[in-house]
A and B are shown apart, each in its own frame.
Chain A
Amino acid sequence: MKKYWKSLAHRARRKGLVEQSKREFPTDRFDKIEISRRDFFKNMGASLALMGLSGCGYVRKPKQKIYPYVKRPEFMVPGKPTYYATSVSIGDDVNGVLVESLAGRPIKVEGNPLHPVGQGKTSAWQQASVLNLYDPDRYQRVLNKGKESSLGDFKRWLASLDMGADQGDGIGMLIDYTPSPTLYSQLKKIQDRFPKIKFYRYSSVNNDNIYQGVSDISGEYAFPFVDFTRADVVISLDSDFLGTDTLSLEYNRDFMRRRRPENGKMNRLYHFESSYSITGGVADHRFKVKRSDIEVILYEILRQVYQKGVIRTDGFLISWIEEAIVASVSYLKDKPAYQNISEIVDDLVSHSAGLGRENGGRAVLLAGPHQSPLVHSLVFYINYIIKAPVTYYSHPFKSAEFPFIQERGIDSLSDLTRDIESQNIKTLFVLGGDPVYNAPVDLNFEGLFTKVDTVYLGMIPDETGDKSSWVIPEQHYLESWSDLVSVKGDLSLVQPLINPMYPDSLSKSGFLSLILGEDIGERELVRTTHSGISWRRSLHNGVVKGGFGNLQRRAIAPYSINAFVSRNSDKVKRAKDSLEVSFDVDYSVYDGSFINNTWLQELPDPITKLTWDNAVMISHALAIKNDLKNYDMVEVASGRYTLRGAIWVVPGQDEDTITLKLGYGHRVSGKIGQGSGFNASRLRTVSGYDYTDKTIKISKTGENYLLASVQDHWTIEDKYFEGEESSNSQNGRPIYREESVDNYKKNPRFAKEAVEVPHLKGYHDKKAETFTDPMYAENMSVFKEVEFTGEYQWGMAIDLSTCTGCNACMVACQAENNIPVVGKEQVLWGREMHWIRLDRYFDGDTENPRMVHQPVTCLQCEQAPCEQVCPVAATVHSDEGLNDMVYNRCVGTRYCSNNCPVKVRRFNYFDYHQRSPHAQKKVSSHIFELFKEPAESLQLQFNPDVTVRMRGVMEKCTYCVQRINEVRVVSRNEERKIRDGEIVTACEQACPTGSITFGDIKNDGSRVTKLKRLDRDYHLLAELNIKPRTSYLAAINNPNQKVKGS
């Protein structure tokens, strides 16, 4: 027999090896273990005992089965997200979004870069909209008189109604305006089928005044779009165009392009408003004035434009308003808003265009949706004569087909109440909108509503659903097919990312199909509406630019002024000295449709920093006059209507204005919305819809109501902060640094020089090989400094010049990073969890201060004070400069938070997921059944790339490390470096103004490096030698030196 050898070594030492190679374990290590029989049994006994112990002591995980796909769906790689384009509408505002879907669950909304409105950006509402999908409180079953029923029962009832018999007579349909072409084609069908059916529309927040005003003077039912990129001077009359107004995303982008001094000439914003808005915070000059007085201010602007005589103005118009101005002067003359009009008009006129240059002007006026139609008409007129860069877009739906579209919603609703009263309407279909909650109080809508048979299509329990005979659960936009059209005529498609969570639910289109008795899927409906477009490509892109026909109206000119004046002769206002209540859209809950959204409820209002409630907002002067202070429960009476609410004193509020935010104070809502805030609709009347001055009284009730502000330290009463040294709420500290553009040009390094930091070496002094912080070269620490050897060095720049404080980043961060909501009580304890927050400071006297916002998140200090004090090394540096937080290692000493100079670390004082009202008992069968977990539907929203933190650990911003690593994997697979802009943090992604920039600061060409090289770049608290990776660009503003007292 031949003796084969395996290798030369084998051959050489065959003898011993043969024996060895036959053994199971070739090395003889195992033989050397000397263990006696007794020891063996001892060990085994002990092991068994420990096994038994482990069975008792440990939490046994509930049994769950995981099945692999037998056939993998296309594009689905487990663990890898897919993005689908869809679109979302909030009121008139439509934006395209890309929704991240993981394992079939939509988890995060991001902007669709192809959509012309957002161009990849989103508002806080859009960011938060995904949570509504998973809201466990949603209507899940068809309800009949409050009892569970089924869609079958409803269909039978619908059949018994026999609408066809008398052409739909006695049937009304109340629609919360949704700009969906498919919906309107269905309405048209319904109108054709049942000609006697009556349509009404009502949305509590709307643009009716704007459309009406433009239509009154020009005959075109059109929406004015301001091109801020071409506007040097902007006068905003109560228009929160950077906040709650329609097209605010586009306006943010355009306007802020002109707020960066690097981009050339800066624009200048004059802003008139009654209560601080985020637009007011950005303004170069902000004047507080009653909402009703703004109209008179506008008259005066118009008169002075006429007087300056530079541009041709209709004298007839001037003589018409002059009388009102004269009558108002005695009241207005002390107000800076009135005193400075001359300077403002000078600025305006000097930026207007000469004859014949269409839209060539570089100044523009715009008015907010709460101003009367007359204001909008006059604004249209002034913009026309100064040739402002405004274009007009016709309303997408023709009035010929639907007269109710061009009726103001408030009038339409009034018609409906009259029709119910006169028994013309016996059955009412309500498509969303919650009119029982938000109808003006003098319509007595609730009383009339119960007199007729009502069917309500709604998503979240509310007053209308509570009073309706039938409730049909409405589908979320992520569950349904539809289409939307923006005010500028861009068509976007709505496609579902998930099967409807509740089988009985219907979309608006589905509901109309049911009425029509048609059995076409909504997808087919949408497809047939837009047969002209390339379906697949449109669906992929989510948007068809201008796909709804060209709505733009090139040249619309005012009608005959004489006719206009005679039609509006009785509408001229006079300013008078009286208290006034104004109603504003809420930055968190919009018109109330987000009332049950925990993210938005806990989102601090940009101005008051209040969470979970609205408040009766008054000025300091009014508070003193009526001996009121924060938390006082008051009764506000207007005529015979009253409202009880808690006081919040707001700096910069007009003395005679009480501001109420809409959307709160639901009597019926989900577990989150119930009992939060006060219902402003209780004072809203048909005539006093945007503001009311009808015998306003405010009186103490003697009770207190706790309001939860995340920044309640800024108490006006605090004398210490009124010293001459520190008239601003930053206490005189160089935290938020700002300068006028003129001074900035004189001293470009003002921001860097605000604090003296010793031993600084310039940015360019460093050698490129080993990375050290741009601002410091010398080691000033007692510890050996970390060397950053990573391939990339992450950093961030935040531009304070463009940040408005709109909160979009906060919600985006919350959605991305599974940040828990803590509830009002915990906010009162000061334990909110937001990783990025917007610090708001006031500057100046309490009555008329300036307001600024500063986003603060973990600065990722290179010399991180938190790292040094953690006893267990749970927070350490990565070689790429990230200050990493190791949740598993954290024991929760909270020392890091104490040592963090910016206090961005957030501690899980409780397991907030267990304490949420939406928590449910844990589905498992062991002794820890006492424990709770998030509601099943909410569990679907969690981002699986981010750990859900348990109680007792510290957490903070990670620069979205999961996104960094995701891109890193891709780049490594493709054997290339990560490109600049390839990693986008959640906050950066959402920021409508592009104020946040993230990237590799080692890369000389990256956007963030370029920003960090700007002179106005500064490091917060640099004097502590913390070497933050996040730096700020100082705010530059552009005030008019001639304007005083603003």
Chain B
Amino acid sequence: MEKSSYIENTLPRPVLIEGGHDFNQVSDIIRKPITSTPSWWTIVFIGALSLLGLYGFTVALLFFEGVGIWGVNHPVAWGYAIINLVWWVGIGHAGTLISAILFLCRQKWRTSINRFAEAMTLFAVICALQFPALHIGRPWVAYFMFPIPNQMAMWPNFRSPLLWDLFAFTTYFLTSLLFWYVGLIPDLGLMRDKAKTKISKMVYGFFALGWRGANRHWQNYERAYLILAGISTPLVLSVHSIVSFDFAVSQLPGWHTTIFPPYFVAGAIFSGFALVITLMLIAREVYGLKDFVTLGHIDAMNKFILATGTMVGYAYSIEFFIAWYSGNEYERFAFVNRAFGPYAWAYWTMFSCNVFIPQLFWFAKMRRNLVVTFIVSILVNIGMWFERFVIVVTSLHRDFLPANWGYYIPTWVDICMYIGTFGLFFTFFLLFLKFLPMIAVAEVKGVMPQANTHH
């Protein structure tokens, strides 16, 4: 009796996994999409593949004709390609944040979403990585950008932020991949053990690296995971900081801003969480994972959106203040032109989606309303895409000499290529859903009450 009164008198541990499943049930529920593929998967996969085909076609066209098939011009030399790059990289921030930073902060609720978010990160970064090679005029010499010793005795220019980007991206991609893969190992062991066919047993077995669930394995695994989490944490902050240097280091009014690194990181987390929510809401619905991804999870992620959205809003406002306070007429004009010039529509789309709309999440009711959450999550990503549009295009289209001013209009290729990257993303993502457990089974088990029987 004494014991139970003690429990009653303390705060209850938050219930992270609902439904009262046992370990076996958990394994089965999470593996269900893999063992019995739903019929809609094929249909959606065909859709994704056709978008990928569209992407392939636009890339082929691009290689054959040149970047002139885009709407980029003089003075707006960067367009959709760079916008998409920054957008996708931004999205690719949530996964690592959830996996690494929340892991280090011992936020156990992360276990239900981390695998999913990490996979999303990885595929988003793959989409982003398309663009550094695609957006250049001569993609066949893209290797010039790598520090490869060569007969021309040429070396890249380490002063260029584009080069920093390249290192930042590849580091981030490789670390994220490694992190994701290490996290997958216990589950791959599970998949191997439960596999029905010989081939799948072999493949899962190969990637499971001989996982037997031994104590020693767990020790090594957890240490490796911790170390990788430690390595990834600064990367979450650095990658988008470095992406922001592409703009901040240049001297274009509207780009040349010291606030960019934190502002970009906040924006990246903002958009990453939004896409996790979008995808998660669909997945938990269609795969029946409501016990794993509970309203509590949604609520927590919405708080992130509110927090980062407000940071972004603060950044937007302080940019204006600084533009006025600096007394620099070019700077001042760039910002006035953003809000009231020819691209005002883009600016206000951005501002409403990113700043006004997330304010709904001050209310718990809204945070826990799935329809509202879903709509807001999509609007946030639209807003974040426009943020990059506003930064890239409106700064470039009217700069120092009024004689250069122009206007940027995307072509159908720009739009198709952007849509095409969704094909790339979803092809990977659907394959992930088909072959790998979308929730970290081992980790989820670890946060279930059964795992903590000692009290």
- Point out residues on A near B: beta carbons under 8 Å: 711, 713-714, 720, 729-733, 735, 783, 826, 829-832, 837, 839-841, 854, 856, 865, 867-873, 889-895, 897-899, 901-903, 906-911, 950-954, 1021, 1024
Q: Given A869-B162, A910-B68: A713 and B402 within 8 A (CB)?
A: yes
On chain B, the residues within 8 Å of A831 by CB distance are: 68, 73-74
Chain B min CB distance to A223 (Å) = 38
The stretch among B150-158, B170-178, B188-196 that forms the contact with chain A is: B150-158
Q: B74's closest neighbor in chain A, by CB?
A: A830
On chain B, the residues within 8 Å of A720 by CB distance are: 337, 340-341
The stretch among B97-105, B135-143, B374-382, B431-439 that forms the contact with chain A is: B135-143
Chain B min CB distance to A905 (Å) = 8
On chain A, the residues within 8 Å of B66 by CB distance are: 908-911, 951-952
B402 x A952 contact (CB < 8 A) = no
The answer, among B73, B157, B250, for a CB contact under 8 Å with A873, is: B157
Alpha-carbon gap, A911 to B135, bound state (A): 16
The answer, among A735, A909, A950, for a CB contact under 8 Å with B68, is: A909
Q: B141's closest neighbor in chain A, by CB?
A: A891
Q: Given A839-B401, A897-B74, A903-B404: A872 and B156 within 8 A (CB)?
A: yes
The answer, among A733, A830, A869, A909, for a CB contact under 8 Å with B329, is: A733
Q: Tell me if B43 is interfacial: C-beta within 8 Å of chain A.
A: no
Alpha-carbon gap, A654 to B67, bound state (A): 43
Q: Tell me if B356 is interfacial: C-beta within 8 Å of chain A.
A: no
The answer, among A783, A873, A898, A954, for a CB contact under 8 Å with B252, is: A898
B68 x A713 contact (CB < 8 A) = no
Alpha-carbon gap, A891 to B163, bound state (A): 13
On chain A, the residues within 8 Å of B407 by CB distance are: 713, 830
The answer, among B73, B76, B162, B330, for a CB contact under 8 Å with A871, is: B162
A732 x B67 contact (CB < 8 A) = no
Q: Mark B238-266, 1 if CB is under 8 A from A, else 0.
A: 00000000100111100000000000000
Question: Which DSSP category, helix, strand, loop or mixed, fits chain A's interface?
Answer: loop
- 28 A-B residue contacts at CB 8 Å? A731-B333, A829-B68, A839-B403, A865-B251, A868-B249, A869-B159, A869-B161, A869-B249, A871-B160, A873-B155, A873-B157, A890-B138, A891-B142, A893-B135, A893-B136, A894-B72, A894-B77, A895-B77, A895-B78, A897-B75, A898-B75, A898-B252, A903-B399, A903-B401, A907-B137, A908-B137, A951-B68, A951-B138
A870 x B160 contact (CB < 8 A) = yes
B251 x A893 contact (CB < 8 A) = no
Alpha-carbon gap, A713 to B396, bound state (A): 13
A898 x B250 contact (CB < 8 A) = yes
On chain A, the residues within 8 Å of B141 by CB distance are: 891
On chain A, the residues within 8 Å of B400 by CB distance are: 733, 735, 901-903, 1021
Alpha-carbon gap, A892 to B252, bound state (A): 19
Q: Given A841-B403, A873-B154: A892 and B75 within 8 A (CB)?
A: no
- Point out residues on B near A: beta carbons under 8 Å: 65-68, 71-78, 135-138, 141-142, 144-145, 152, 154-157, 159-163, 166, 246, 249-252, 329-330, 333, 337, 340-341, 396, 398-407
- A-B contacts, CB under 8 A, total: 168
B73 x A830 contact (CB < 8 A) = yes
Alpha-carbon gap, A869 to B407, bound state (A): 24
On chain B, the residues within 8 Å of A1024 by CB distance are: 251
Q: B154's closest neighbor in chain A, by CB?
A: A889
The answer, among B137, B250, B396, for a CB contact under 8 Å with A951, is: B137
Chain B min CB distance to A949 (Å) = 10
Q: B133's closest neighbor in chain A, by CB?
A: A891
On chain B, the residues within 8 Å of A892 by CB distance are: 67, 136-138
Nearest 10 A/B pairs, CB to CB: A892-B137, A952-B137, A909-B68, A839-B403, A713-B405, A830-B73, A894-B77, A952-B138, A871-B162, A873-B157
A868 x B403 contact (CB < 8 A) = no
Alpha-carbon gap, A869 to B77, bound state (A): 14
Q: Given A892-B136, A909-B67: A832 and B401 within 8 A (CB)?
A: no
Q: A915's closest neighbor in chain B, by CB?
A: B68
A906 x B160 contact (CB < 8 A) = no
Chain B min CB distance to A617 (Å) = 20
The answer, among A713, A730, A731, A953, for a CB contact under 8 Å with B137, is: A953
Alpha-carbon gap, A631 to B251, bound state (A): 36
Q: A713's closest neighbor in chain B, by CB?
A: B405
Alpha-carbon gap, A709 to B14, bound state (A): 66
Q: B330's closest neighbor in chain A, by CB?
A: A733
Chain A min CB distance to B423 (Å) = 25
Q: Given A869-B160, A872-B156, A898-B78: A891 and B136 within 8 A (CB)?
A: yes
A783 x B159 contact (CB < 8 A) = yes
A895 x B67 contact (CB < 8 A) = no
Chain B min CB distance to A798 (Å) = 14
Alpha-carbon gap, A854 to B144, bound state (A): 37
On chain B, the residues within 8 Å of A839 by CB distance are: 401, 403-404
A872 x B145 contact (CB < 8 A) = yes
Chain A min CB distance to B345 (Å) = 15
Given pairs A841-B403, A893-B162, 5 additional interface contacts (CB within 8 A) = A826-B68, A870-B162, A895-B78, A908-B137, A909-B73
Chain B min CB distance to A560 (Å) = 55
Q: B164's closest neighbor in chain A, by CB?
A: A871
Q: B160's closest neighbor in chain A, by CB?
A: A871
Alpha-carbon gap, A713 to B402, bound state (A): 8
Max chain B CB contacts within 10 Å: which of A729, A732, A783, A895? A895
Alpha-carbon gap, A831 to B67, bound state (A): 12
B166 x A898 contact (CB < 8 A) = no
Chain A min CB distance to B327 (Å) = 10
B396 x A898 contact (CB < 8 A) = yes
Q: B397's closest neighbor in chain A, by CB?
A: A713
On chain A, the residues within 8 Å of B154 by CB distance are: 872-873, 889
B74 x A952 contact (CB < 8 A) = no
Chain B min CB distance to A846 (Å) = 15
Alpha-carbon gap, A711 to B406, bound state (A): 8
On chain B, the residues within 8 Å of A903 by CB distance are: 74-75, 399-401, 404
Chain A min CB distance to B246 (Å) = 8
Alpha-carbon gap, A893 to B341, bound state (A): 27
Alpha-carbon gap, A893 to B77, bound state (A): 9
A894 x B78 contact (CB < 8 A) = yes
Alpha-carbon gap, A867 to B163, bound state (A): 13
The answer, among A856, A868, A908, A952, for a CB contact under 8 Å with B401, is: A856
The answer, among A714, A731, A897, for a CB contact under 8 Å with B77, is: A897
A714 x B163 contact (CB < 8 A) = no
Max chain A CB contacts within 10 Å: which of B76, B137, B166, B396? B137
On chain B, the residues within 8 Å of A837 by CB distance are: 403
A729 x B166 contact (CB < 8 A) = no
On chain A, the residues within 8 Å of B71 by CB distance are: 829
Alpha-carbon gap, A386 to B399, bound state (A): 51
A952 x B340 contact (CB < 8 A) = no
Q: Given A869-B249, A898-B396: A953 and B157 within 8 A (CB)?
A: no
Alpha-carbon gap, A730 to B135, bound state (A): 32
B155 x A871 contact (CB < 8 A) = no
Chain A min CB distance to B78 (Å) = 6
Chain A min CB distance to B147 (Å) = 11
On chain B, the residues within 8 Å of A908 by CB distance are: 66, 137
Alpha-carbon gap, A906 to B74, bound state (A): 7
Chain A min CB distance to B84 (Å) = 15
On chain B, the residues within 8 Å of A898 by CB distance are: 75, 77-78, 250, 252, 396
Q: A718's closest neighbor in chain B, by CB?
A: B342
Alpha-carbon gap, A802 to B306, bound state (A): 60
Q: B77's closest neighbor in chain A, by CB?
A: A894
On chain A, the residues within 8 Å of B401 by CB distance are: 733, 735, 839, 856, 901-903
Chain A min CB distance to B40 (Å) = 42
Q: Given A830-B75, A909-B66: A872 and B402 within 8 A (CB)?
A: no
Q: B71's closest neighbor in chain A, by CB?
A: A829
Chain B min CB distance to A957 (Å) = 14
Alpha-carbon gap, A731 to B400, bound state (A): 10
The answer, among B138, B157, B403, B406, for a CB contact under 8 Å with A856, is: B403
On chain B, the residues within 8 Å of A711 by CB distance are: 403
